[in-house]
Amino acid sequence: MAGLSTTPYLETVMDCHGNMDQNNIPLSPILNNRDTKLFFAGKYLNQYGKPSTGGVKHVPPGWDHWNALVGNSRYYNYTLSVNGVKEKHGDTYKEDYLTDVISRKALKFLNSRGITEQPFFMMLSTPACHANFTPAPQYETEFSSRQAPRTGSFNVHGKNKHWQVSSAQHPMTQLSTSFSDNAFRNRWRTLLSVDDMVEQVIKKLEKMEVLNNTYIVFSSDNGFHLGQFSLPVDKRGLYEFDIRVPLWVRGPGIKPSVRQEVVLNIDLAPTFIEMAGLIPPTDIDGQSILGLLSVDNVDQIAETEWRDSFLVEYWGEHHPAVPNCPQYNGQGVADCFPSCVCEDSWNNTYSCVRTLNKSSDLIFCQFQDNQSFEEFYNIRKDPDQLENIIYTASKQTLVHLRQNLMYYKQYDGGRDHKRLR
């Protein structure tokens, strides 16, 4: 959830994982220059706080109140950098459960403000719903009858897909199916604590009488799969369930609606800057979406005024040793669990162009492997991405797709880039 307030308050960004690199997005120094108080609490970057990256003493520029998790997401037994000072936490729920710690620190910051006209920006980045999916004690038995969604691709063989997908064990073992279902339930359980946090923050803003002046944005950094194409649990695929994320925004001047434009995570920083009453730098990636949010009718935004395509990239990972699956040691794979189903590999490296407009809903992908393997889906006709139509596409279509992808891979950004036909 993110919040930013125009007149005069800038408030919270709370996301599911918090992998926004503020060192590459000059957001905090820009907002700080407007005499805005900036508060951060939660997950920052996977390697943050490690000796190789400056340790806990490193506080990125611009932040007035800094409470960052050292390393990757955890719920207990972690260390925070509190304005550059190490704060260690153990395994006691009332004192240490990280989502609740983030919430308490946020409320303390809001309480300290009292009645003031000074704007503020608050980013809350919870460990939920990241692995190890550890719910608070009071929520451990919620959703016990729920299963991972049985979508059209659940427990389906990934026919004509990259080998790393098509080689997944099918049908899924009972162990894999149970693992997917348990992960689904526990992810939802961890988010109940996020619900509590959101409720507490919003009630506090109401009590401060600034809620109606505050932009609130709620989002995440990646999708997730739970049994789709017989892959038990992960997020590294090129499919909609892994690359599409939620985005909710409320605030002054925003009309209730469901928008269909293509909005990317690189659009968040320029949006926050414009919400603060500033002009985003011309060399920043992404575009502010504030104009989209204040339009009454979707049709008022012409297709030529907004992007309809974007680049998706992922670089595959592998490890020399694969725990509990020694047969895969040295085979260039990683994350092989449960039932030794591998979710990643050295050549699970791909680039895609995703296109979405009134006439097209497509994704074309090319892998960086020995085959230059390709996948192509018409998502409007095949929302579960079951049929790779690369084998039936015309030569003319393939030439266009490959040229289009090459253009995007070479393109170096810029706010004037709207679309490519």
pLDDT digits (tens, 9 = 90+) for 163-204: 999 999 999 999 999 999 999 999 999 999 999 999 999 999
Listed in sequence order, the residues at least 6 apart from 400 whose beta carbon sits closer than 8 Å to its beta carbon are none
Query: What is the residue type of 168?
Result: A
Query: What is the residue type of 136?
Result: A
Would the pLDDT of 73 be above 70?
A: yes
Least Cα distance to 117 among 227, 251, 213, 33 occurs for 213
What's the CA gap between 270 and 280, in Å, rounded? 5
**Whole-number pLDDT of residue 101:** 98
Would the pLDDT of 33 be above 90?
A: no
Tokens representing residue 251 in the block: 């605030």
Query: What is the residue type of 18?
Result: G
Give residue-wise pLDDT tens across range 109-165: 999 987 677 899 999 999 999 999 999 999 999 999 999 999 999 999 999 999 999
**Whole-number pLDDT of residue 173:** 97
Give residue-wise pLDDT tens across range 288-323: 999 998 876 556 665 557 999 999 999 999 999 999
Question: Cα dihedral sign for 323, 229, 133, 264?
Answer: positive
Share of the chain above pLDDT 90, in %: 80
Q: How many CB atoms lie within 10 A of CB 336?
A: 20
What's the CA gap between 418 and 414, in Å, rounded? 9
What's the CA gap between 122 and 38, in Å, rounded? 6
**Bridge partners (DSSP) listed for residue 42:** 68, 125
**Whole-number pLDDT of residue 304:** 56
Looking at every residue in the chain, the average pLDDT score rounds to 89
Query: Strand 2-5 and strand 309-314: pairing?
Result: unpaired
Place of tokens 């974007």: 310
Would the pLDDT of 21 be above 90?
A: no
Residues 376/389, Cβ–Cβ less than 8 Å: yes
Is 107 exposed, middle or buried (CB count within 10 Å of its CB: 0-12, 13-18, 19+)? middle
User: How are the residues of the chain apportioned to helix, strand and coil, as percentages rounded to the nearest 5?
Assistant: 30, 20, 50
What's the CA gap between 366 and 344, in Å, rounded? 16
Residues 168/155, Cβ–Cβ less than 8 Å: no
DSSP-derived 3-state class of residue 240: helix
DSSP 23-75: TTSTHHHHHHTTT-EEEEEE---TTTTSGGGT-TT---TT-SEEEEESSS--S
DSSP-derived 3-state class of residue 174: helix
The angle, 0 to 180 degrees and rounded to 10, between the axes of the packed helices 174-207 and 98-113 is: 10
Query: What is the residue type of 326?
Result: P
Tokens representing residue 16 in the block: 């599911």
Task: Fill in the DSSP letter of residue 255.
Answer: P
Give the neighbor-by-neighbor strand order of the sheet with 361-367.
309-314, 350-356, 361-367, 374-378
